[in-house]
A = this chain, B = another copy of it.
Amino acid sequence: MERILIKDCLILPMTSEPSGGEEAQEELVISGDVAIEGDTILQVGDQGELPPNWKPTKVIDGKDHLCLPGLVNCHTHAAMTLFRSYADDLPLMYWLEKKIWPVEARLSGEDVYWGTALALIEMIRSGTTTFNDMYFFMDEVAQAVEKIGMRACLARGLIGIGVQGEVALDESKQLIAKWHKQAEGRINIWLGPHAPYTCPPTYLEKVLAVAEEYQVGIHIHLSETEGEIRQIQKQYGKTPVALLRELGAFRYPVVAAHCVHLTDEDIRCLAENGVGVAHNPESNMKLASGIAPVTKLRAAGVAVGIGTDGAASNNNLDMLEETRTAALLQKVATGDPQALPAATALFMATREGARVLGLGDEIGMLKPGYKADLILIDLKQSHWYPKHNLVSQLVYAAQAHDVDTVIINGKVVMENRKITTIDEELVWAQVEERAKRLVEPG
């Protein structure tokens, strides 16, 4: 069994909840070693005990590095890297109908495998160790996750209009049978009803019956645009949140992506039912959907994680950037520079994100007994000087490239910026060729 010792680093274990005050941020950082055995953290700084005569099989020099839990990307469509920057600055429906849907209709399982592989590399390179995905050809997505070594929650996207809805629900069951808790436990399968406006109540009831049967959670787009609110209100006389509650969806773990347009009653309902929210600030800005009421949600007790959404609407999968944008956007939206301080934003990107995905007892903190999902940030760079407050620097000044080493489930998947589990240039070549064919089929 591999035993890794990361020596002499600064450590941000994320074990204490941020108070929001400025002093609290400095108290979050300790220094020392991190010891890993197999897939599990044994010791962090001076917490946890090493067995007598414990000897590492691998030592990583942590000098001039900051070690913290891997970031948790709570909502994405990984394979959409294939369409990165293919169609930007367009009205939503034109973008979907004229651009995205036609190219998605041409996707093969292999395309999705390679597009997902590119996404996983990009996520690892920017410090993400767990992601929550909704797409199709999910067997191929799971294969990419297994090979490259990430932790993932995967959901086959379900559209409940037409015959495809039943087929996709069957695929979801097969996906659960084949992949739930597989890949050394790194994969969890969820159900992915796309949204209330694409899944009518009769279909959602079928989805919930499957959730009940297999005891899995629901990943859904919810209250993303004003258009959705108007449509659901008109069809059912209630908000999308109220509609889901009445259908009984909140009896299961739910990750609700976006939640941009909520009433106070919606917020209370999400809090009372323990629904987790995935906040996607850059996608919401780029598509002009609006600004989610993150400060209100958190004040009401709702767990809010952060997500990048797909690369077609972002256009990268950089959780450090997304976390910064989340913090900046809440300040300007609320008119309060104290809203969503750095430590809270980082808490959302790690521990609260883990909780949103139902993984709060396994990941999101560096703590003995937790899974060894962690990242090392290279501090020897101009934008990291001087070092008044490492948490602030990480949230407000860092860039993806600062991440130089990533460990997931105790395995080194990137070391000194080299991906260890797949040939990165092969992925580039595959994606380049496939993307070209998808957008220019003739």
Contacts and interface: CB of A to CB of B under 8 A. Distances in A.
Nearest to A320: B399
Nearest to A341: B89
Nearest to A123: B382
Contact of A382 (B118, B337, B341, B387): B118
Given A89-B392, A121-B382, A288-B335, 4 more contacts: A290-B335, A291-B332, A315-B397, A317-B383
Given A392-B88, A439-B388, A321 B318 contact: no
A389 interface: yes
A388 B392 CA distance: 35
Interface string A70-111: 000000000001111111111110010000000000000000
Nearest to A82: B386
A385 B315 contact: no
Interface string A277-295: 0000010111111110000
A339 B342 CA distance: 29
A428 interface: yes
B428 A316 contact: no
Interface stretch (A40-48, A174-182, A195-203, A430-438): A430-438
A389 B88 contact: yes
Contacts of A342: 88-89
B397 A84 contact: yes
Nearest to A83: B388
B431 A22 contact: no
Nearest to A438: B386
Q: 8 closest A-B pairs (Cβ-Cβ)?
A: A386-B435, A89-B341, A85-B392, A401-B401, A285-B328, A315-B396, A86-B388, A285-B332
A332 B284 contact: yes
Interface in A333-350: 334-339, 341-342
A432 B288 contact: no
Contacts of A431: 385-386
Range of interface residues on A (Cβ < 8 Å):
35 or more
A337 B436 contact: no
A231 interface: no
A400 interface: yes
Nearest to A99: B22
A393 B331 contact: no
A125 interface: yes
B315 A393 contact: yes
Nearest to A393: B85
11 contacts: A81-B386, A90-B338, A91-B337, A122-B383, A125-B383, A318-B383, A321-B399, A325-B328, A382-B427, A386-B431, A399-B401
Contact of A388 (B284, B325, B435): B435
A243 B387 CA distance: 41
A331 B288 CA distance: 5
